Amino acid sequence: MTDDVNGWVPSADAWIASMGEQGDWTRRTFLDAVMLGRATAIGGHFLDVGCGEGRFVRMLQDRGLSGSGIDPVPSLIETARQRDPDGDYAIGIGEKLAFDDASFDLTVSYLSLIDIEDYRAAIDEMVRVTKPGGSLLIANLTSFFTAGKWNRSLTGTAKCFQMDNYSKERATREKWAGIDILNWHRPLSAYFDAFLGHGLQLTHFSEPTPPDQNDPKSDRYTRVPGFLVMEWKKPT
């Protein structure tokens, strides 16, 4: 991890502006519904790893859950505290969580594992701080999505999705809306190996898609699976 946290420090203001209070299009249109439904069903005391400006922490609190959010970017934590003065937010990294073993009923990673270089260490830590019988709730970009990109078809008449080097773990530079960060691609089996290595039980797996197929923004997330949600239960 670099001093600028893989681009997140200089990108923080642009990220805050893009999220607003409601989140970006994908979150508010279809990801939030799945994540909130699973999280509220689990309930209890939670930790949001990579909480950013604290939006999802506030959403969980609004639904009666209590918990904490951590993020390595100081300005994101500062914004979270400004928007939620009574909330519990701290600067921290997923690879070394400053919490005791078995502290949380629910540990959340909402599109943050793709930002963490040493994801195995982060998963180890998430498992460690989760109580036996508790759950890890993960939203992530699919490995199909991170291994490819949209290009024109060979005929040049339509866009198609081209995927290559699926099995090779690597970082890619992603730029949009003033944000310039590193994301990491890993094959899905790499994530599964990390979770299964702790004896976790997969209790939910879905690939959410936008509900309104007439929305022109839906096309890229239905033609290619863009996101996945996993819930892993820690054995008692």
In a domain, residue 151? The reply is no
In a domain, residue 3? The reply is no
In a domain, residue 180? The reply is no
- Structurally, how many domains does the chain consist of? 1
Distance of CA 210 to the CA centre of its chain: 17
Question: 194-224: per-residue pLDDT in tens?
Answer: 999 999 999 999 999 999 888 888 988 888 8
Question: 41-51: per-residue pLDDT in tens?
Answer: 999 999 999 99
Range of the domain at 216: 8-142+187-233
pTM of the predicted protein model: 0.95
Residue 206 in contact with residue 34, Cβ under 8 Å?
Answer: yes
Share of the chain above pLDDT 70, in %: 97
| pLDDT band at 189; cut points 50, 70, 90 | very high
CATH number, domain of 19, equals 3.40.50.150
Beta strands in 118-234 (DSSP E): 130-141, 148-152, 159-163, 170-176, 179-185, 201-206, 227-233
Share of the chain above pLDDT 90, in %: 87
